[in-house]
């Protein structure tokens, strides 16, 4: 990833001040390059704002007469909680049933990353992924399940280290309990 030097310098300046406000010596040898490293890390972690997920799906969209479930499961992701700017991470499971249009499988994982690489809440991220696929491919249905650990719950606050948060959202044929159950069985059974 290329970094905009002006943006990096501005962000680094703010982090240098934060380091000082927290009571640390920002001029200490070990911290001299920290503001710049954090500025670059934050730009990498937030690069989803500069990407168009629908364009990503359309870049590998094909006509295919396939009308069965397509599942991409166990998609690792890392995101930042917008409330505390601490990471949350886990796995996304995405299914859709095509309606004449399919997309390259890697594109499903890429759109998970686009939405994860923003300040997020898990609930919104789940819905954004679902809506992007539904709006772009117009399938017969989409279902997204996200399972994540939130460091804002594990490191601070209630400090529940082993808690997992699960969210789901679905459209179309996934509104039928039988179709949702098939998806759930398929993502559970082959682990």
Q: Which residues are known catalytic residues?
A: 81-84, 122, 150, 152
Contact 126, 68 (CB under 8 A): no
Which among 71, 72, 73, 164 is positioned nearest to 122, based on CA atoms? 164
Q: What is the residue-wise DSSP string for 48-60?
A: GGG--HHHHHHTT
Could you give the residue ranges of the DSSP H alpha helices within the chain? 5-21, 34-45, 53-58, 105-116, 122-137, 151-154, 177-189
Using CA atoms, how far apart are residues 170 and 176, in angstroms rounded to an integer? 10
Q: Is the dihedral of CA 166, 171, 173, 177 positive or negative?
A: positive
Supply 21's token pair: 């406000």
- Taking the C-alpha atoms of residue 69 and residue 140, their distance in angstroms, rounded to an integer, is 10
């Amino acid at each position: 990833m290329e970094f905009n030097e002006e943006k990096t310098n501005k962000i680094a300046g703010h982090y240098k001040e934060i380091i000082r406000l927290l009571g640390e010596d920002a001029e200490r040898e070990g911290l001299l390059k920290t503001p710049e490293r954090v500025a670059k890390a934050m730009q990498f972690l937030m690069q989803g704002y500069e990407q168009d997920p629908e364009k990503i799906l359309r870049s590998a969209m094909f006509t295919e007469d396939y009308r069965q479930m397509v599942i991409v499961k166990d998609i690792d992701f890392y995101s930042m909680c917008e409330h505390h700017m601490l990471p949350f991470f886990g796995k996304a499971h995405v299914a859709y049933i095509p309606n004449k249009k399919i997309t390259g499988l890697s594109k499903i994982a890429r759109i998970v990353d686009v939405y994860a690489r923003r300040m997020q809440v898990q609930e919104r991220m789940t819905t954004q992924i679902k809506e992007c696929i539904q709006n772009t491919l117009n399938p017969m249905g989409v279902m997204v399940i996200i399972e994540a650990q939130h460091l804002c719950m594990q490191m601070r606050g209630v400090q529940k280290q082993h808690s997992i948060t699960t969210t789901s959202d679905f459209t179309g044929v996934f509104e039928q309990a039988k179709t949702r159950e098939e998806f759930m069985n398929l993502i559970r059974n082959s682990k």
